[in-house]
Amino acid sequence: MSRYLLRRLVGLIPVLALVLVIVFCLTRFIPGDPAVTLLGPGATAEQIAALRRQMHLDQPQGVQFLSYVWNLLHGDLGVSLKTGRPVLDELASKLPATIELALAALLIALAIGIPAGVAAARRRGGVLDQVLRVAALACVSVPAFLIAFALQGLFGSWLRFLPVAGRLSPYFIFKPITGFAVLDALLHGDVAALSDAIRHLLLPATVLGLFIAANLSRFVRSAMIQQLDEDYVRTARAKGLDERQVVYGHALPNALIPVLSVIAILFGDMLGGAILTETIFSWPGVGRYTLDAIRNRDYPVVQSATLIFAAMFMLVSLAIDVIGQRLDPRLKAPVA
């Protein structure tokens, strides 16, 4: 397993290098200039040229690329053109917010998607199956921002039950410990802050999680139908096992193994969705940070954030592959 892990980890390097080259080229192909964006409409050509020199944007692009790669190899992700702060520090301060949101969304997706998939499989062709199918279709096809505005209007404006933006109410001012608001509140036993953090998390996590839940429920349904038709399930029923035990004790664990790899792919979708969700809900994570950086042509931030997203996706995929192999030894690659 350790050799397999090492091989997979080494395999990540060329992929990340390719991502780096593509993103570097793409950022330079986008029309526009960071100095122009930063100085605004009133700036003269002379002011812009001075800022370009200051930010080393007047150097040849090959030199800029080599300089970025050299710094990257030394653990330096560069400095944000907009803020002048190290990108590593800024990403480190925003990553917990994105991970917190992604984990909450994943929890919601699993909590909705798996039971819905199982229920639909057990009542194949029935009314519940049809209702769940339509609901899943709606969650996948309705744009996330519409769902977000609807939930904000319902829970935020009409019922006034949940906050519609941010991670904490503005008058909760604190110094972070881990950067995970919910975890920090727990660590300090601050019930008011914990409640506030969870209430802020609910809407964005639901919006992000619903799309995953909808997809997940369809995959679970298919996998469960396949398992429920297997001989071992028929045998279990023939032996007189309780139906719940048959479904949840035997069929579901087997059905979830192929679903695991789907979760890895959906996680990639979730990272993409985080950009939109974080923007709508003013969630101070890496997604919103990246979008702002793209708008501002903040090249070092766009390059580094994309690398981080790519690395996260690949590491999650790797972790899920490893877990899948643990659960089902048949998935192990044949030893040469």
Contacting positions for another protein (CB under 8 A): 31-33, 36-47, 50-51, 82-84, 90, 92-94, 149, 152-153, 156-157, 160, 163-167, 169-179, 184-185, 188, 190, 192-193, 279-282, 284, 288-289, 292, 295, 297
In DSSP notation, 155-206 reads IIIIS--S--SSSS-TT-----SSS-HHHHHHHHT-HHHHHHHHHHHHHHHH
Nearer to another protein, 74 or 160 (CB): 160
**E strands, 38-175, in order:** none
Nearer to another protein, 39 or 135 (CB): 39
Nearer to another protein, 70 or 161 (CB): 161
Pairwise CA distance, residues 91 & 260, whole Å: 28
Nearer to another protein, 246 or 276 (CB): 276
Pairwise CA distance, residues 276 & 144, whole Å: 8
State the nearest-atom distance from the C-beta of 263 to another protein, in Å: 29
Nearer to another protein, 200 or 250 (CB): 200
State the nearest-atom distance from the C-beta of 31 to another protein, in Å: 4
State the nearest-atom distance from the C-beta of 307 to another protein, in Å: 20
State the nearest-atom distance from the C-beta of 75 to another protein, in Å: 17
Nearer to another protein, 170 or 334 (CB): 170
CA-based Rg of the chain, rounded to a whole angstrom? 24
State the nearest-atom distance from the C-beta of 293 to another protein, in Å: 11
H/E segment holding residue 324: helix 299-327
Q: Two tokens at 9?
A: 């980890």
CB within 8 A of 320, min separation 6: which ones?
Answer: 260, 261, 263, 264
State the nearest-atom distance from the C-beta of 309 to another protein, in Å: 17
Three-state SS for 45?
helix
Give the CA count within 13 Å in the CB-facing half-sphere of 74: 7
